[in-house]
């Protein structure tokens, strides 16, 4: 999660989810962004209902679960998802709907990956309150650092509400190994996050931008690319470091 657009949230969500599934993990992906980019990136029609029914009507997650790939299930966003931002009734419970839906799900998964909207609205709060750990993508520019600072303020509020710390990891995206700015941003992240900054960095790779238009992950579109290599490494690092 990150409140800045263009840092690779959906790219990371879809390709990490598929990488984990290819590594024999059982994965559930939830599209919590009304733009439905995770849904379409997996080749599913953006109009397919899913999280809108779960969060607005209290429908069980399993009723809207689709098999997106071997080992990877998806609950699409649904066109009505944006309407949750306009809910005026329910008080604090409005932010706990996703958590309640996951608690009620009797299916067992090794990982549940939630693709979040680039905002800290009610959908974002639902994701934060339901999370056991955060993966924060940060692109290699100073605007991303500024956005990250604002997000950490939001996270502090959530932790106060939950009365517990929320573990987080940071992954650098759109990384240019030869650019001084990218190296400077990484140094700043190391200084602030220390061992919570993952060793794996996702390099800039045009194939990562192209594959969603075909409804394919990077492993289907260009399996020999830097993007595929990096997301395989990220999945391995997440699993071996017991991220969940």
Q: Please give the full DSSP string across 64-88, using - where no structure is assigned.
A: G-EEEETTEEEE---GGGGGGGG--
In a domain, 147, yes or no: yes
Q: Residue 213: which of 4, 41, 13 has the closest Cα?
A: 41
In a domain, 2, yes or no: no
In a domain, 200, yes or no: yes
pLDDT in tens, the chain (244 residues): 444 445 689 999 999 999 999 999 999 999 999 999 999 999 999 999 999 999 999 999 999 999 999 999 999 999 999 998 887 555 678 889 999 999 999 889 999 999 998 877 899 999 999 999 999 999 888 787 778 888 888 888 889 888 888 899 999 999 887 778 888 888 888 888 888 899 999 999 999 999 999 999 999 999 999 999 999 999 999 999 865 4
Place of tokens 């106060």: 160
Give the pairing type, strands 66-69 and 72-75: antiparallel
In a domain, 1, yes or no: no
Tell me how many domains the chain contains.
1
Task: Tell me which residue range forms the domain holding 192.
Answer: 9-240
Burial class (CB in 10 A: 0-12, 13-18, 19+), 171: buried
Helices (H), 23-179: 37-41, 51-57, 97-104, 122-130, 142-162
For residue 201, the domain's CATH number is: 3.40.50.300
């Amino acid at each position: 999660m990150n409140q800045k657009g263009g840092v690779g949230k959906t790219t990371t969500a879809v390709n990490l989810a598929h990488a984990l599934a290819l590594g024999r993990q059982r994965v559930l992906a939830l599209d919590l962004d009304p733009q439905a980019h995770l849904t379409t990136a997996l080749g599913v029609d953006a109009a397919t209902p899913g999280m809108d029914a779960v969060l607005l009507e209290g429908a069980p997650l399993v009723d809207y679960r689709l098999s997106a790939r071997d080992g990877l299930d998806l609950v699409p966003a649904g066109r009505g998802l944006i309407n949750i931002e306009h809910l005026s009734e329910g008080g604090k419970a409005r932010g706990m709907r996703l958590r309640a839906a996951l608690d009620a799900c009797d299916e067992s998964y090794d990982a549940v990956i939630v693709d979040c909207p680039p905002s800290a609205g009610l959908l974002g709060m639902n994701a934060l309150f339901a999370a056991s750990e955060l993966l924060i993508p940060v692109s290699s520019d100073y605007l991303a650092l500024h956005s990250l600072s604002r997000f950490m303020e939001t996270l502090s509020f959530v932790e106060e509400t939950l009365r517990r710390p929320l573990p987080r990891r940071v992954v650098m995206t759109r990384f240019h190994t030869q650019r001084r700015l990218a190296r400077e941003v990484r140094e700043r992240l190391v200084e602030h996050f220390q061992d919570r900054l993952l060793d794996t960095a996702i390099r800039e790779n045009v194939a990562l931008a192209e594959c969603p238009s075909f409804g394919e992950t990077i492993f289907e579109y260009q399996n020999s690319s830097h993007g595929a290599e990096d997301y395989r490494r990220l999945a391995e690092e997440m699993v071996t470091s017991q991220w969940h």
